[in-house]
A and B are shown apart, each in its own frame.
Chain A
């Protein structure tokens, strides 16, 4: 299980960043929720995502952990 997040890169484009790889879904959920709390005041983190790695280069994110912000 992969926990990642989106941010704007140096070119101003959204990119998905792998935050941590977890062994179980439960662990991934805990890591994602912790990242959400840590990102509330970090405007560079746009979304916290959770998904599955299918290959070295392919990750499919299918769960979003919404960061509680006023403009969301």
Chain B
């Protein structure tokens, strides 16, 4: 390996001589190289990369320049006296490749799109003329094929296109009759003539006639023209009569019927006749007057006044003292009894000549309207809706001239006063199934023989079934009486 000393270095003059010789050779070589190809010079430089050229003089710089006209390669010294190396990057960094040409960092220049061979050939009536890059293509063919695989002479117009657009997807023209029938009958309100309807029509006899007497009769009806006799039930809606029915104005008659009071009377025979052995011997313990224990006053369509009239025969045995009996009605309080509000009361003056009291603790009042049908010995009056005070009805009447109901009360504890509200409870505010009583005493003295006795009870105003018992007894152990042939008459009356 040869080592060269640069300018300013140490060494003897023979060294400079040698350098000068080398420089001369290099210049010679450069000159000769210029005659050869530039690539050959570059190749040599690359192959001799151990060669380091150092500028001795001149301005500082970084770029290496080459003067093609003089063939001089100038390498400037470093800016601060440092060495400036010649590298491939320094060379290639300032170069740009054209289309299809690339320059690698190591200086390799590559044609990325080498030239392609283009061959153009005309066929038939088509000819191609010209050279790269300008060609002329000319065709003289004006012949077209008509029919399959070719063109058609039929016009494809806008109207034809519109028709095709109007055809739904998957439209077919090959539906069967069954498919068409099913599709048609499946659509609502098409008035399809279905198989079921055909079956119905098939069931109608030829020349069917609804006015045919035989047919009508067989159907359970009757022809009016043939004096029909109906069997079964005929249901008709409300009937409006513009004339009369059997000569009667049914509307007028109906109004009269509406005002008729409900009135039912029934008679119960409680015990046998007075033949021997039919008597009931009395004592001081209550016994049933008849041979049935419970007696029923039936329910009514609406609230009614209930009367119980009792008759019986008493055979009095002779006694030297008073001989007396007591008949008691035992009424069972039914379910459903309610308090009646009779309105506001007004006290009647004690000096009113029409209404007088016969005992202390009694007082007259009146309320508006007719409420007398409510009053019975079983009920009680109170100025309290809960019946905390229970006054007993002593007397009452309805005065139509004033439309007032007057009543006299036997007062318990505290008087009712004017403007109090009068409450009436038909069962004296007693609980259901409690037994209420009312009695009549029948007395005779110093006689014997038969008497027919009659007493009446007024039961509460109600539509319920009332259950009661009739009990009879002697009031003293020395009494001597027998009873028989008892009858009860039950009356229900509307108001």
Contact = CB atoms under 8 A, between A and B. Distances in A.
Interface of A: 8, 11-14, 25, 29, 46-47, 52-55, 58, 60-66, 71-72
B437 A62 contact: yes
Contacts of B430: 63
Interface in B396-430: 410-412, 428-430
A33 to B, nearest CB: 11
Interface in B11-40: none
B378 interface: yes
A33 B27 CA distance: 158
Contacts of B285: 46, 71-72
Contact of B378 (A62, A65, A71): A62
Contacts of A25: 429
Contacts of A46: 284-285
A54 B284 contact: no
B390 interface: yes
A44 to B, nearest CB: 11
A69 to B, nearest CB: 8
B436 interface: yes
B330 interface: yes
Contact of B392 (A12, A13, A54, A71): A54
B475 A14 contact: yes
B283 to A, nearest CB: 10
B476 A47 contact: no
A55 B438 CA distance: 20
Contacts of A11: 476
B63 interface: no
Contact of A54 (B361, B429, B438, B478): B361
A12 B410 contact: no
A13 B324 CA distance: 10
Nearest to B392: A60
A60 B410 contact: yes
A63 B284 contact: no
Contacts of A64: 328, 330, 435-437
A63 B392 contact: no
Contacts of B377: 62
A12 B435 contact: no
11 contacts: A12-B477, A12-B478, A13-B476, A54-B410, A60-B392, A61-B437, A62-B428, A63-B436, A64-B330, A64-B435, A72-B286
B69 interface: no
A61 to B, nearest CB: 7
The 4 closest A-B pairs by CB, nearest first: A12-B477, A13-B476, A64-B437, A14-B475
B434 interface: yes
Interface string B379-395: 00000000000101000
A71 B476 CA distance: 18
A14 B390 contact: no
B476 A54 contact: no
Contacts of B476: 11-14
Contacts of B378: 62
A25 B384 CA distance: 14
B226 interface: no
Interface in B463-480: 475-478
B360 interface: yes
Given A46-B285, A52-B412, A54-B410, A62 B436 contact: yes
Nearest to B431: A29
A39 B390 CA distance: 28
A33 B486 CA distance: 32
Nearest to B377: A62
Contacts of A62: 377-378, 428, 436-438
Interface string B317-335: 0000000000010100000
A65 B284 CA distance: 17
Contacts of A52: 390, 392, 412
Contact of A47 (B286, B429, B436): B286
A66 B436 CA distance: 11
Contacts of A63: 428, 430, 434-437
Contacts of B411: 54
